[in-house]
Amino acid sequence: MLLGFNALVYLLMLAPILVVIPVSFSEKEYLVFPPQGFSLRWYVNFFATRELADSLWLSLHLAAWTTALSTVLGTAAALGLVRYRYAGRSLVRELFLAPIVMPRLVLGIAFLMFLSRTVLSGSFGGLLIAHAVVAFPYVIRTVSASLVGLDRALEEAGASLGATPFTVFRTITLPLLKPGIMAGAVFAYVTSFDELVMTLFLAGPGLTTLPVQIFTYLEYTSDPTIAAISVVLVAITVVAVLVTERIVGFSRFV
């Protein structure tokens, strides 16, 4: 009985994702169940519609920059927070993790008001900074977890054999931190790629990310093009999760 109950709970969580797959291949313009016919016209429509293709490109581009920026900042910050003792350390740590608990809605409004007073208003740079602020704390968390579990005797052995601190870092510390850094990078990428609510306040001409584009579309229509986009979005996410699970054991970092 428990098995059946839990299967239903999984179905509840997965159903909205699974249902978009048949809809994306349907022939009809309106939604019917079960979907009729088989066609790729909605996928063609997705890539042929200039604004949708542009949004996908912007989202991929933004997520890549966000990941690069947050991985570097987050890894350095995690090292500085875990490895050293200094006054105000726990305060800095609290501040660094604070963006995670902030509602994205409130952050979006705050960024809108803040950016409207600067030259970054309506620019890619403004969007990138906002995304980096919400993405890098995940890198801090995963890298900190790796750092705490790291055996320092390995580094001491390297140092006692004459390696310089930088060589020890490059050839011992960094490789051992790789799983944490990679998991953090995936978190950062997915966070940016899927970000919707905060970005709604910052999107503008030429700055409409794919989730924002879908959201705006859905307020007026719901033709299966959205289903085709959704399948592409889900595929990117699933591949990211599965690949990382295979390489570094993603579930350890959750």
Partner 1 sequence: MSPPRRRWLPALLVGPTLLLLLVAFVAPLGILLVYSFYESRPGGVMIPAFTLAQYRRFLGDPFYLYVLWRTVLLGLWVTAWCIVLGYPLAYVLARTRSRTVRSVLVTLLLVPLMTSVVVRSYGWMILLANNGLINKALLALGLTSAPVQLLFNTTGVVIALVAILLPYMVLTLVPVIQNIAPALEEASQSLGASPTRMFRDVVVPLSLPGVAAGSILVFVLTIAAYATPRLVGGSRLLVMPIFVYDQTMALLNWPFASATSFILLALVLGLMALQGRLVERRSTWEHGA
Which residues from 79-98 bind partner 1, rule CB under 8 A? 79-81, 83-86, 92, 95-96, 98
To the nearest whole angstrom, how small is the minimum distance from the Cβ of residue 62 to partner 1? 14
Work out whether 65 is an interface residue with partner 1 (CB under 8 A).
no
Q: Does 202 bind partner 1 (CB under 8 A)?
A: no
- Residues in region 107-126 near partner 1 by CB under 8 A: 107, 109-115, 117
- Cβ nearer to partner 1, comparing 32 with 40: 32
> Quick one: 50 or 117, whose CB is closer to partner 1?
117
Nearest distance from C-beta of residue 170 to partner 1, angstroms: 15
State whether the Cα torsion 142-143-148-149 is positive or negative: positive
Question: Apex CA 221: angle with CA 219 and CA 223, to 5°?
Answer: 135
End-to-end CA distance of the chain: 28
**Which x/- pattern, by CB under 8 A, does the window 212-231 give for partner 1?**
--xx--xx--x---xx--x-
Site membership for partner 1, residue 253 (CB under 8 A): yes
208 scored as a contact of partner 1 (CB under 8 A): no
196's CB contacts (< 8 A; 6+ apart) are 104, 211, 212, 215
Q: Shortest gap between Cβ of 68 and partner 1 (angstroms)? A: 14
Number of residues that bind partner 1 (CB under 8 A): 90
The residues near 254 (Cβ < 8 Å, ≥ 6 apart) are none
Residue 2 is a binding residue for partner 1 (CB under 8 A) = yes
53 binds partner 1 (CB under 8 A): no
Structure tokens, 120: 């970054």
User: Given candidates 63, 77, 172, 228, which one binds partner 1 under the rule CB under 8 A?
Assistant: 77
60 near partner 1, rule: CB under 8 A? no
